[in-house]
């Protein structure tokens, strides 16, 4: 069934998801910060999976989309646990291909650590691990450490983008780029060189930090942060299709 369903966490909050059954490693798309499964990339991946008979799982983090909760209470730890819980309930121990966009690329690493050998591949789209470290000024970090919310201009919507102190404190405990990342899955990192939000060298740093020897970085010279133009979506789907073929299984 591909309509929106709800998974209930132990504390009662409901996490919205869409799941289509199919063959091969299940595709799991992880949206970016303040995004949800209605985004163009998530919808394109889901439509591709439906058209090709592949298993796919989308979800909204708590406080996002149609899931319960307040966004101000969201943290990487909280959202990681939600993703792992929905995967366990819907996919069991089936192999997965994780695709993470922007912050979802950071969350992808945390989820992959939790899943271990269950991960058949990773696809990062302008992955932004450690953005609370390199993406904030020292003044902003000080404000967050003192319990204040920081607001930044939002080029994608009318309201400023908040970073809440709870998210910041938790995120600082999950920084990835300062040491080897114990993930061995094949990985492809897509990044636009015109990205004004996440410098494309972050993908190079991530490639270097990953323990896996099967890591490719694909730079899109005229691509922006969202990588949501038709040609960018086509690149994403070609990348996912290659993973799905390589890891084909009918579990």
197 given a catalytic annotation: no
Task: Give SS3 for 13.
Answer: coil
Residues 75/167, Cβ–Cβ less than 8 Å: yes
203 given a catalytic annotation: no
Options 7, 19, 191, 225, the catalytic residue: 225
Q: At what angle do helices 103-115 and 76-91 cross, to 10 degrees?
A: 50
Residue 156's CB: how many other CB atoms inside 10 A? Answer: 11
Pair of tokens at residue 161? 């983008």
Pair of tokens at residue 62? 């708590």
Options 191, 195, 203, 232, the catalytic residue: 195
Residue 13's CB: how many other CB atoms inside 10 A? Answer: 17
Max distance between CA atoms of the chain, in angstroms, equals 52
Pair of tokens at residue 52? 């090709």
Whose structure tokens read 């792992």? 84
Options 67, 101, 102, 203, the catalytic residue: 102
225 given a catalytic annotation: yes
Residues catalogued as catalytic: 102, 195, 225
């Amino acid at each position: 069934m591909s309509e929106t369903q709800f998974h209930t966490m132990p504390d009662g909050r409901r996490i919205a998801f869409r799941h289509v059954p199919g063959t091969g490693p299940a595709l799991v798309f992880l949206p970016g910060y303040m995004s949800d499964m209605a985004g163009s990339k998530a919808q394109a991946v889901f439509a591709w999976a439906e058209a090709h008979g592949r298993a796919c799982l989308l979800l909204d983090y708590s406080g996002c989309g149609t899931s319960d909760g307040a966004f101000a209470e969201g943290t990487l730890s909280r959202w990681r646990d939600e993703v792992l819980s929905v995967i366990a309930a819907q996919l069991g121990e089936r192999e997965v291909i994780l695709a993470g966009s922007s912050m979802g690329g950071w969350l992808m690493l945390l989820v992959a650590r939790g899943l271990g050998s269950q991960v058949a591949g990773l696809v990062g789209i302008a992955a932004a691990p450690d953005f609370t470290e390199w993406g904030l000024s020292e003044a902003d970090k000080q404000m967050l450490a003192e319990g204040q919310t920081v607001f930044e201009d939002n080029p994608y919507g009318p309201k400023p983008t908040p970073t809440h102190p709870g998210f910041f404190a938790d995120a600082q405990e999950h920084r990835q780029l300062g040491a080897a990342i114990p993930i061995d899955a094949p990985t492809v990192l897509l990044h636009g060189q015109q990205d004004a939000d996440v410098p494309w060298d972050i993908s190079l740093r991530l490639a270097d930090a990953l323990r896996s020897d099967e890591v490719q970085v694909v730079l899109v010279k005229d691509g922006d942060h969202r990588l949501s133009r038709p040609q960018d979506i086509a690149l994403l789907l070609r990348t996912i299709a290659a993973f799905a073929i390589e890891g084909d299984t009918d579990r």
